[in-house]
Protein backbone atom coordinates (compact mmCIF):
# COMPACT_ATOMS: atom_id res chain seq x y z
CA UNK A 1 0.00 0.00 0.00
CA UNK A 2 0.86 3.68 -0.10
CA UNK A 3 3.59 4.76 2.29
CA UNK A 4 4.36 8.24 3.60
CA UNK A 5 7.66 8.82 5.30
CA UNK A 6 8.09 11.69 7.73
CA UNK A 7 11.43 12.88 9.02
CA UNK A 8 12.62 13.49 11.66
CA UNK A 9 10.49 11.52 14.09
CA UNK A 10 11.69 13.60 17.01
CA UNK A 11 13.45 16.94 17.22
CA UNK A 12 14.46 19.23 20.04
CA UNK A 13 15.37 22.80 19.20
CA UNK A 14 16.12 26.01 21.02
CA UNK A 15 13.72 28.92 21.14
CA UNK A 16 14.18 31.27 18.22
CA UNK A 17 15.57 28.68 15.83
CA UNK A 18 13.85 27.14 12.82
CA UNK A 19 13.04 23.50 12.25
CA UNK A 20 12.26 21.76 8.97
CA UNK A 21 10.10 18.64 8.78
CA UNK A 22 9.99 16.53 5.62
CA UNK A 23 7.11 14.48 4.29
CA UNK A 24 7.70 12.09 1.40
CA UNK A 25 5.36 9.84 -0.51
CA UNK A 26 7.50 6.78 -1.18
CA UNK A 27 5.62 4.81 -3.79
CA UNK A 28 3.14 7.23 -5.26
CA UNK A 29 2.90 10.79 -6.45
CA UNK A 30 0.91 13.18 -4.32
CA UNK A 31 -0.32 16.38 -5.86
CA UNK A 32 -1.82 17.32 -2.52
CA UNK A 33 -0.35 16.96 0.94
CA UNK A 34 -1.71 18.09 4.28
CA UNK A 35 -0.10 19.22 7.51
CA UNK A 36 -1.71 18.65 10.89
CA UNK A 37 -0.78 19.52 14.44
CA UNK A 38 -1.82 17.55 17.49
CA UNK A 39 -1.50 18.62 21.11
CA UNK A 40 -1.56 16.03 23.91
CA UNK A 41 -4.93 14.34 24.36
CA UNK A 42 -6.43 16.36 21.54
CA UNK A 43 -7.48 15.58 18.00
CA UNK A 44 -5.57 16.43 14.85
CA UNK A 45 -5.96 20.02 13.71
CA UNK A 46 -5.49 20.73 10.02
CA UNK A 47 -2.95 23.50 9.51
CA UNK A 48 -2.67 23.74 5.75
CA UNK A 49 -3.20 22.07 2.41
CA UNK A 50 -0.17 21.91 0.16
CA UNK A 51 -0.53 21.58 -3.59
CA UNK A 52 2.48 20.77 -5.73
CA UNK A 53 3.81 23.79 -7.55
CA UNK A 54 1.54 26.32 -5.90
CA UNK A 55 1.18 28.17 -2.63
CA UNK A 56 -0.25 26.34 0.33
CA UNK A 57 -3.72 27.09 1.60
CA UNK A 58 -3.70 27.74 5.33
CA UNK A 59 -6.55 27.16 7.74
CA UNK A 60 -7.94 30.08 9.64
CA UNK A 61 -5.73 31.13 12.53
CA UNK A 62 -2.56 29.47 11.22
CA UNK A 63 0.28 31.92 10.65
CA UNK A 64 1.66 31.62 7.14
CA UNK A 65 4.94 33.32 7.97
CA UNK A 66 5.56 31.10 10.94
CA UNK A 67 4.72 27.77 9.33
CA UNK A 68 6.34 27.78 5.91
CA UNK A 69 5.21 25.03 3.58
CA UNK A 70 6.93 24.05 0.38
CA UNK A 71 5.68 21.37 -2.01
CA UNK A 72 8.29 21.49 -4.74
CA UNK A 73 7.79 18.00 -6.12
CA UNK A 74 5.11 15.35 -6.37
CA UNK A 75 6.77 13.32 -3.63
CA UNK A 76 8.02 15.88 -1.15
CA UNK A 77 6.48 18.55 1.04
CA UNK A 78 8.27 20.37 3.84
CA UNK A 79 7.03 22.28 6.86
CA UNK A 80 9.39 24.79 8.44
CA UNK A 81 8.56 26.12 11.87
CA UNK A 82 10.29 29.48 11.99
CA UNK A 83 11.42 31.24 15.15
CA UNK A 84 10.12 28.40 17.23
CA UNK A 85 8.76 29.02 20.72
CA UNK A 86 7.89 26.55 23.47
CA UNK A 87 4.18 26.85 22.61
CA UNK A 88 5.02 25.41 19.17
CA UNK A 89 5.95 22.16 20.86
CA UNK A 90 3.56 19.61 19.43
CA UNK A 91 3.13 16.49 17.31
CA UNK A 92 3.16 17.40 13.61
CA UNK A 93 1.72 14.93 11.12
CA UNK A 94 1.60 15.03 7.35
CA UNK A 95 -0.75 13.26 4.99
CA UNK A 96 -0.67 12.66 1.27
CA UNK A 97 -3.61 12.29 -1.08
CA UNK A 98 -3.41 9.38 -3.49
CA UNK A 99 -6.56 9.57 -5.61
CA UNK A 100 -8.89 9.92 -2.66
CA UNK A 101 -6.94 7.68 -0.34
CA UNK A 102 -5.21 9.61 2.43
CA UNK A 103 -2.06 8.13 3.89
CA UNK A 104 -0.51 9.61 7.02
CA UNK A 105 3.08 9.83 8.09
CA UNK A 106 4.22 8.61 11.48
CA UNK A 107 4.52 12.13 12.85
CA UNK A 108 7.23 14.40 14.21
CA UNK A 109 7.45 15.21 17.89
CA UNK A 110 8.80 18.78 18.19
CA UNK A 111 10.03 20.05 21.51
CA UNK A 112 11.14 23.66 21.78
CA UNK A 113 13.29 24.44 24.82
Partner 1 sequence: DAKTTQPPSMDCAEGRAANLPCNHSTISGNEYVYWYRQIHSQGPQYIIHGLKNNETNEMASLIITEDRKSSTLILPHATLRDTAVYYCIVRVIMEYGNKLVFGAGTILRVKS
DSSP conformation letters of 30-60: -SEEEEEEE-TTS--EEEEEEETTS--EEPT
Respond yes or no on whether the N-terminal peptide bond of residue 37 is cis (omega within 30° of 0): no
Is 91 among the residues that bind partner 1 (CB under 8 A)?
yes
**Which one of 13-21, 62-70, 72-80, 87-95 is the stretch in contact with partner 1 (CB under 8 A)?**
87-95
Q: Are 96 and 35 in contact (CB under 8 A)?
A: no
**Which one of 11-19, 38-46, 61-69, 79-87 is the stretch in contact with partner 1 (CB under 8 A)?**
38-46
Chain residues in the site for partner 1 (CB under 8 A): 4, 6, 32, 34, 36, 43-46, 49, 51, 57, 91, 93, 95, 97, 100-107, 109
Amino acid sequence: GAVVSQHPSRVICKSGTSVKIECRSLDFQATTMFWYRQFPKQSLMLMATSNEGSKATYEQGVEKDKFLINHASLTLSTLTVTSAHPEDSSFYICSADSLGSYTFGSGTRLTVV
